[in-house]
């Protein structure tokens, strides 16, 4: 379920990261040094409408019946042939009776499955966004609590190799996509993953996406292997305006040993003009 993006790619992409004592070592070793990224499921992202679309089940009785036969085969393998046929007939009848709408329990089931099997990692073209530093790059001081602009932002070099990860820019629109599941157009479903409402447009997001081949009931370790490695991707670490010196030193000391080519910068603000820029750290 991949759609290759043919447009021009940004030269750099950025990923804001909140830092806690509990995740600091993982950020350093896994995300910066090993250049790996976990792909989160839709339900764990901060937009409750992630992957939004209006579900349609449109077609004649035979087409809808065929849809349910295929769906039950992949999601309910424990059913024998007679049980699956009976369940497909029952579901088909409910859909036909509810037309042009779709029964709510079916919508909820589709949403439940998608929220677990669709995996994404989110990036941006903006390393100087105040709102993103405040929302996604906090530093949790064990004595003080959360500090806005105190985390880090990882800088990546983006090239054609990223296309294989299904990299796409997010399209911002207040028009909610409609998908007829009976038609089984996987391209339409994939496109919906890259659409968000316009209230998020300031994030200028790009994302990579994959689908985990799993079905309910989902195991607890479903996320464990949902990760990718971005070879030669990490080029820098950016610290926020409020990143403590102890955090800066801890990350620099370990990263330089493994990759001395990685650069380190910090967001600064000119108090006279309020302009923001990145300053190289010595």
Specify whether the CB–CB gap between 64 and 97 falls below 8 A. no
Confidence of residue 4 (pLDDT cuts 50, 70, 90): confident
Distance (Å, whole) CA 205 – CA 150: 21
For the residues 42-69, what does the mean pLDDT come to?
91
Burial (Cβ within 10 Å: 0-12, 13-18, ≥19) of residue 67: buried
pLDDT value, residue 2: 58
User: Does the pLDDT at position 35 exceed 90?
Assistant: yes
Query: Percentage helix, strand, coil, to 5, in the chain?
Result: 35, 25, 40
pLDDT value, residue 148: 97
The residue that leads in pLDDT, 179 or 189, is 179
Residue-wise pLDDT tens digits, 135-163? 999 999 999 999 999 999 999 999 999 99
Residue-wise pLDDT tens digits, 212-229? 877 777 877 777 778 999
- At 177, give phi and psi (nearest 5°): -60, 150
Average pLDDT, the chain: 92
For the residues 57-65, what does the mean pLDDT come to?
92
The residue that leads in pLDDT, 267 or 184, is 267
pLDDT value, residue 215: 75
User: Does the pLDDT at position 73 exceed 90?
Assistant: no
Distance (Å, whole) CA 258 – CA 168: 30
User: Does the pLDDT at position 133 exceed 80?
Assistant: yes
For the residues 89-112, what does the mean pLDDT come to?
89
pLDDT value, residue 74: 74
For the residues 257-262, what does the mean pLDDT come to?
94
User: Does the pLDDT at position 1 exceed 60?
Assistant: no
Share of the chain above pLDDT 70, in %: 99
Distance (Å, whole) CA 138 – CA 145: 10
| CA atoms 27, 19, 116, 171: torsion sign | negative
Share of the chain above pLDDT 90, in %: 68
């Amino acid at each position: 379920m991949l759609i290759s993006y043919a447009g021009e790619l940004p030269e750099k992409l950025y990923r804001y990261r909140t830092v806690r004592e509990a995740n600091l070592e993982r950020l350093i070793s896994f995300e910066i040094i090993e250049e790996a990224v976990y792909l989160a499921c839709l339900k764990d992202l901060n937009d409750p409408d992630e992957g939004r679309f209006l579900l349609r089940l449109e077609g004649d009785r035979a087409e809808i019946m065929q849809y349910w036969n295929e769906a039950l085969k992949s999601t309910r393998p424990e059913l024998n042939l007679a049980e699956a046929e009976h369940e497909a007939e029952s579901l088909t009848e409910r859909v036909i009776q509810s037309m042009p709408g779709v029964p709510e329990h079916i919508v909820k089931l589709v949403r439940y499955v998608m929220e677990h099997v669709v995996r994404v990692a989110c990036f941006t073209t903006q390393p100087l966004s105040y709102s993103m530093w405040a929302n996604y790059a906090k530093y949790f001081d064990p004595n003080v609590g959360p500090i806005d602009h105190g985390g880090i932002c990882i800088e990546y070099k983006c090239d054609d190799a990223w296309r294989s990860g299904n990299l796409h820019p997010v399209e911002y629109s207040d028009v909610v996509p409609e998908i007829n599941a009976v038609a089984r157009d996987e391209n339409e479903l994939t496109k919906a993953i890259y659409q968000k409402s316009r209230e998020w447009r300031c994030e200028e997001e790009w994302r990579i996406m994959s689908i985990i081949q799993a079905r309910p009931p989902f195991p607890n370790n479903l996320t464990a292997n949902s990760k990718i490695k971005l070879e030669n991707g990490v080029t820098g670490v950016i610290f926020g305006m409020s990143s403590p010196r102890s955090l800066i030193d801890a990350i620099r000391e370990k990263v330089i040993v493994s990759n001395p080519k990685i650069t380190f910068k910090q967001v600064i603000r000119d108090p006279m003009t309020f302009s923001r820029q990145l300053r190289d750290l010595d």
